[in-house]
């Protein structure tokens, strides 16, 4: 029954706005709907929550009005034929199937390393790991607000190259922290038995993190963090109050709508130096919902870029290969102390090859596009497998179940959720993982050392007090 509901929902989503004039297009939509529903059903378990989140985010970004584009093709900013759109949707299905399948295998292999990561990050004490993660997020937040890098629509301060750029860690750290907080808050709210005080505290913290996520003005981050929190809380809760779960679902739908509308108004208002003043300003403005819907749909350009890459493959695929892209990403991710000449190298992304067609604009370089352009069908398989390898490691860490492991997994996962993450999101994900593990572990182990030293001093004083206690007795 659930599989049938998912299938019907996906078909309606992909048929939205279409004239339904193409029999082959309808057949393709039915096939894709059945395939995506099967993948969602296979990942709809607590042990595959990160994969489920990735599927939901990618489907939500690619599939709305898919049949319409199959019937019409794309015309702007660069033409893509109807056949290219159909092939792009099949490439999406293949990419997600390879990624999810690889993730399932890798997650099993990394069960023991994930336990080691959990122990290192928490110093053997989950509460210390939670403190360490929270402190790391606070440090990154302070750095981001100090430099103006707290939003994609903020007036940023000009920064010098080099050094440890803590402000660049703010987005993944905030994403992971919000997802971990949301998981705990929702489990408290929808559980069969509720502790009002704990539910209020955790929900307040979650709402605060959502406000800061809204300020970043990354819609994919907002959607991804909400989906990850909702999926983990729902699938991990053994006993759920149907009434509170229903009310929470309605509240979350309203919240998602408010975030999207607010994001539209923020971008209309333009960059700002004061986030909270901007929130007050847009809260007084009226909303043109047709313009907001059009603006949002125009941002979902991932199907277009993949279709265009297929349609113009012969022209675009001759300049670079996957090794060129991989090596340039590795160089740019290496710290300047180890590689001072890194700034002389530019990342090779899909925008570089599209310049040959006279398109000099910011493009959403998806792993599917870059896999095809830099390696053809084999490149698509490679990028899907590498994406799945990263997703599998994230899944293994996520399965540990503590607040710390959930936050670390989500922080590492943020790059994958962005979709326009180039062919090798594992590189940036690894950097985020290394930083959060180092920072949280350092704080956790220092706290544990302090507690143990304090405990030894307390024990050392106790024997001197024993004779008095005995005499008194």
Per-residue pLDDT at 54: 95
Q: What is the largest CA-CA distance in the chain?
A: 98
Contact 14, 64 (CB under 8 A): yes
The answer to whether 191 and 240 are in contact (CB under 8 A) is yes
The predicted pLDDT at position 38 comes to 95
pLDDT at 296: 56
Domain boundaries, the chain: 2-472
Question: Whole-prediction pTM value?
Answer: 0.89
* CA-wise closest residue to 255 among 305, 289, 207: 207
Asked whether the CA dihedral 60, 64, 66, 72 is positive or negative, the reply is negative
pLDDT along the chain (473 residues), means of 10: 88 88 91 95 91 94 91 84 94 96 96 95 93 94 85 60 74 94 93 87 92 86 90 88 86 83 76 73 70 58 91 85 88 78 81 82 88 92 95 96 94 92 88 94 94 79 52 41
Backbone angles phi, psi at 272, to 5 degrees: -145, 160
Report whether 267 contacts 153 (CB < 8 A). Answer: yes
Within 10 Å of residue 124's Cβ, how many Cβ atoms?
Answer: 13
Facing residues of 240 across strands? Answer: 191
């Amino acid at each position: 029954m659930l599989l049938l509901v998912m299938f019907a929902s996906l078909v309606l989503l992909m048929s939205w706005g279409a004239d339904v004039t193409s029999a082959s297009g309808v057949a393709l939509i039915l096939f894709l709907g059945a395939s995506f529903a099967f993948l969602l059903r296979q990942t709809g378990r607590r042990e595959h929550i990160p994969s489920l989140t990735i599927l939901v985010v990618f489907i939500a970004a690619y599939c709305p009005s898919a049949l319409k584009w199959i019937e019409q093709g794309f015309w702007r900013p660069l033409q893509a034929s109807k056949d290219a759109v159909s092939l792009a949707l099949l490439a999406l299905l293949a990419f997600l199937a390879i990624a999810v399948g690889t993730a399932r295998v890798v997650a099993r292999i990394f069960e023991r390393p994930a336990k080691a990561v959990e122990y290192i990050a928490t110093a053997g004490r989950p509460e210390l790991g939670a403190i360490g993660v929270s402190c790391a997020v606070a440090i990154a937040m302070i750095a981001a607000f100090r430099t103006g890098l707290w939003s994609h629509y903020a007036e940023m301060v000009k920064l010098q190259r080099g050094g440890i750029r803590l402000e660049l860690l703010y987005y993944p750290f905030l994403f992971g922290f919000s997802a971990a907080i949301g998981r705990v808050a929702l489990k408290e709210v929808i559980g069969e038995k509720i502790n009002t005080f704990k539910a209020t505290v955790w929900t307040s913290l979650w709402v605060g993190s959502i406000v800061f996520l809204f300020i970043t003005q990354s819609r994919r981050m907002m959607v991804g963090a909400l989906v990850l929190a909702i999926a983990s809380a729902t699938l991990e809760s053994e006993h759920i109050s149907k009434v509170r779960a229903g009310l929470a679902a309605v509240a979350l739908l309203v919240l998602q709508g408010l975030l999207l509308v607010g994001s539209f108004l923020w971008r209309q208002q333009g960059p700002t130096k004061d986030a909270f003043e901007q929130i007050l300003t847009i809260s007084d403005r009226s909303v043109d919902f047709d313009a907001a819907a059009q603006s949002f749909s125009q941002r979902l350009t991932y199907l277009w870029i993949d279709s265009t890459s297929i349609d113009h493959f012969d022209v675009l695929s001759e300049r670079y290969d996957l090794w060129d892209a991989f090596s340039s990403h590795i160089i740019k991710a290496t710290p300047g102390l180890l590689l001072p000449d890194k700034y002389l190298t530019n990342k090779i992304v899909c925008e570089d090859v599209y310049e040959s067609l006279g398109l000099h604009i910011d493009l959403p370089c998806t792993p599917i596009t870059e896999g095809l352009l830099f390696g053809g069908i084999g490149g698509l398989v490679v990028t899907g497998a590498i994406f799945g390898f990263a997703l599998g490691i994230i899944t293994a860490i996520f399965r540990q179940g503590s607040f710390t492991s959930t936050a670390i997994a989500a922080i590492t996962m943020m790059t994958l959720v962005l979709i326009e993450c180039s062919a090798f999101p594992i590189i940036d994900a690894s950097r985020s993982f290394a930083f959060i593990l180092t920072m949280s572990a350092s704080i956790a182990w220092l706290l544990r050392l302090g507690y143990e030293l304090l405990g030894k001093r307390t024990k050392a004083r106790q024997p001197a007090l024993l004779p008095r206690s005995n005499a008194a007795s």
